[in-house]
């Protein structure tokens, strides 16, 4: 009897895991450049985020994956609001939108790394058609940072979710030790991804409820018209 109960308790988790693996496989088939490697899929299943191991020569780089509980269009509409990052990033001490153009925005950020405050500007290129956001250090840069670049690439996943690939590379200036750079890229950024996922999922909930309500209203109106 105990064995049957334990099997019954385990079965829903097993099914959920199999469904998630299936969703990642479908995402890989539709867009191979977004799908995570098999070795990080377990981490993605358990936490909703997964980090890939940096390859040789990729110091200062982070590559990860996030599973959002909303479709790509909603996720994109939230991620493109780059000037709201302080709502989920505790490492930022200030953020100001300094320029807005068609599908391109520039933000000035200040970040604290240990006891050092680093200021820089990032230019974001927004591509809603392909579900991509790319950023780079603005021209003129920062004396404390040599290079920043990164991207979000979104792809649909089953059950109305989004599988997103996140990449960024940061190279600090000579005045900042390499150990501080590694602290930023390998410890701070994973925490930022967790906060980012929670923020997107929370703000997506009322949007999803509103969509469901409109869909139900449209279905009811159609049934009423057919009954007349």
Residue with tokens 């057919």: 226
Residues of the chain with pLDDT > 70: what percent? 72
**Rounded average pLDDT over 123-127:** 98
CA distance 43 to 185: 18
How much is the pLDDT for 97? 97
> Is residue 27 one of the residues assigned to a domain?
yes
Sorted by sequence, the CB contacts under 8 Å of residue 114 that are 6+ apart come out as: 180, 183
What pLDDT score does 43 carry?
Answer: 81
Please give the Cα distance from 125 to 104 (Å, whole number): 5
Contact at 8 Å (CB) between 118 and 145?
yes
Domain range enclosing 53: 2-88+145-227
Q: With respect to residue 101, please indicate whether it lies within any of the assigned structural domains.
A: no
- Structure token digits, residue 198: 């929670």
> What is the per-residue pLDDT across 12-60, written as a single tens digit (0 to 9) for each?
333 333 334 444 444 444 455 566 777 777 888 888 999 887 665 566 6
The CATH number of the domain where 203 resides is what? 3.30.530
Q: pLDDT tens-digit profile of 129-182? A: 999 999 999 987 666 788 889 999 999 998 999 999 999 888 877 666 666 666
The mean of the pLDDT values for the chain is: 80
Q: Are 125 and 134 in contact (CB under 8 A)?
A: yes
Tokens of 114: 């240990």
- Number of structural domains found in the chain: 1
DSSP state, 59?
T
The pLDDT of residue 117: 82
- 99 found inside a domain: no
Burial grade of 79 (CB within 10 A; 0-12, 13-18, 19 or more): buried
State the Cα torsion 200-202-203-207 to the nearest 10°.
110
């Amino acid at each position: 009897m105990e064995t049957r109960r334990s099997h019954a308790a385990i079965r829903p988790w097993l099914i959920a895991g199999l469904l998630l693996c299936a969703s990642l496989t479908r995402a890989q088939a539709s867009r191979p450049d977004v799908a995570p490697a098999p070795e990080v899929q377990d981490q993605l299943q358990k936490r909703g985020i997964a980090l890939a191991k940096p390859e040789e020569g990729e110091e200062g780089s982070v590559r990860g994956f996030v599973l959002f509980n909303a479709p790509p269009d909603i996720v994109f509409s939230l991620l493109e609001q780059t000037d709201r990052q302080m709502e989920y990033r505790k490492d930022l001490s200030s953020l100001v939108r300094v320029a807005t153009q068609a599908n391109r925005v520039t933000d000035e950020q200040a970040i604290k790394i240990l006891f050092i405050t680093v200021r820089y500007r990032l230019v974001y290129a927004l591509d809603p058609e392909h579900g991509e956001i790319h950023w780079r250090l603005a021209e003129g840069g920062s004396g404390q940072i040599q290079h920043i670049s990164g991207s979000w690439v979104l792809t649909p996943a089953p059950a109305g979710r989004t599988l997103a690939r996140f990449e960024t590379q940061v190279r600090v200036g000579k005045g900042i030790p390499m150990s501080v750079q590694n602290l930023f890229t390998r410890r701070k950024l994973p925490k930022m991804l967790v906060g980012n996922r929670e923020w997107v999922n929370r703000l997506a909930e009322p949007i999803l409820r509103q969509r469901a309500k409109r869909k139900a209203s449209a279905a009811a109106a159609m049934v009423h018209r057919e009954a007349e």
